[in-house]
Chains A and B, each alone.
Chain A
Amino acid sequence: SQQGEEDPQALSIQEGENATMNCSYKTSINNLQWYRQNSGRGLVHLILIRSNEREKHSGRLRVTLDTSKKSSSLLITASRAADTASYFCAGLTSGTYKYIFGTGTRLKVLA
């Protein structure tokens, strides 16, 4: 069953602006990851944040995690047209091998 939700479902911004996506989940997780998917392709891992971390940075990406609220956010700063893609959060469920994915946010960056 689907246990991750993301919002917004779709986001359209101008190049150079920041894009923020939010993810909420229902189970306990060991870590939360964000993936990117270009149209019709597989997913590519972007960043992982462990359950004992609150914030993590990687290049233009900033991820936050609030385990008490079971939520995470992904911020992409200074967006580029090449950032146009769908973005998914995925939580590794505690005590299992299972990853629970969110429904995804479709980001469109206009040049």
Chain B
Amino acid sequence: DVKVTQSSRYLVKRTGEKVFLECVQDMDHENMFWYRQDPGLGLRLIYFSYDVKMKEKGDIPEGYSVSREKKERFSLILESASTNQTSMYLCASSSWTSGRANVLTFGAGSRLTVL
């Protein structure tokens, strides 16, 4: 079964710490996305990548960076975590070429709490 795996389901970090959220997909998808989900706000796009080493800012990139050195891995980095980054983070992938083109496959989510 195809899968998107997020490395951590729950994290607790302190203000100012550097945080890495890892996401790996095994479907050879070109596109990968990071969203954050907050109550009443739905899903908001942080960054997305349409190829290795390519990235584009989403709607709320401030305070975040990303890395995509390999096709299967897309990392979200919080350089200096702040309390307003406490949220659920969702990774997703999609492909333009597969039979399920344009459909997002999501990971289980990473719930980050910044104290």
A-to-B contact residues, CB < 8 Å: 1-2, 4, 30-31, 33, 35, 40-45, 48, 88, 90, 92, 97-99, 101-104
Contact = CB atoms under 8 A, between A and B. Distances in A.
A44 B35 CA distance: 14
B108 A42 contact: yes
Most buried by A among B41, B43, B90: B43
B42 A103 contact: yes
Q: How large is the interface on B (under 10, 10 to 19, 20 to 34, 35 or more residues)?
A: 20 to 34
A103 B38 CA distance: 10
Interface of A is mostly: strand
B102 A30 contact: yes
Contacts of A35: 104, 106
Contacts of A1: 59
Contacts, number: 60
Nearest to B88: A40
B48 interface: yes
Interface of B is mostly: strand
Contact of B102 (A2, A41, A43, A48): A48
B93 to A, nearest CB: 11
A33 B103 CA distance: 8
A55 B59 CA distance: 30
Given A31-B102, A43-B106, A45-B104, A99 B45 contact: yes
9 contacts: A2-B44, A31-B102, A40-B88, A41-B109, A42-B4, A43-B90, A43-B104, A45-B105, A101-B43
A92 B109 CA distance: 21
Given A40-B111, A43-B104, A90-B104, 6 more contacts: A41-B108, A43-B90, A43-B92, A44-B106, A97-B31, A101-B35
A21 B93 CA distance: 26
B42 A48 contact: no
Given A88-B42, A88-B43, A103-B40, A98 B48 contact: yes
Contacts of A42: 4, 90, 92, 106-109
